[in-house]
Amino acid sequence: MGNPVATARMQTLVAGNLKRDVPAVRPAGWRGFTLLELLVVLAIVAMGSAGVGFALRDTSQARLEREALRLGALLESARVRSQASGMPWRWQLTREGFRFAGATRADADLPQHWQDPDTSATIDHPGAAGGLNLGPEPIIEPQSVTLFSRSQPQQTVRLATDGVRPFALQVEAR
């Protein structure tokens, strides 16, 4: 066995075991984090921030889909208003965006431009008046609109109705 006096004086680095009369002893070279530990932490932070950045990025396709959903809601709102008033309503494209023709002053509160100025549209199946016919009949002819990005024309979204169901996004098989 060892000398009990020598064992009692052995210094350790366990927290709470340091005494005032015994100076704290650190192993040589133990001064904080190593460069490798810091690099690992920085790499983890960089990957996390890149993941958040990619998740928050708003692509032109997402903006187009958002515009199409908004337009679908506007078209259905105009369709309901047309049926309620008994007056025909049409949706037409303009240079600045679009407009709802046939609306009375009380119903002219519907928006007339795109939220994203990069958005444009073409009417695929126009009605008789060069726009989309929205009523007043509950069943209308099949119609569709293609929305596209002016800066990236290959990005498109199609909004269509069969005349009975509401306007909805049409997904193309690729």
For the record, the structure tokens of 77 come out as: 């709102």
List the beta strands (DSSP E) in the chain: 90-93, 98-101, 119-123, 132-133, 143-149, 156-161, 168-170
Residue 101 has pLDDT above 90, yes or no: no
pLDDT computed for residue 91 by the predictor:
92
CB 162 within 8 A of CB 142: yes
The model carries a pTM of 0.66
Per the listing, tokens 């903006």 go with 63
For the record, the structure tokens of 48 come out as: 């996390």
The top-scoring range by mean pLDDT among 11-15, 25-29, 45-49 is: 45-49
Domain 60-170 has CATH 3.55.40.10: yes
Average the pLDDT over 13-37 and give the result.
Answer: 66
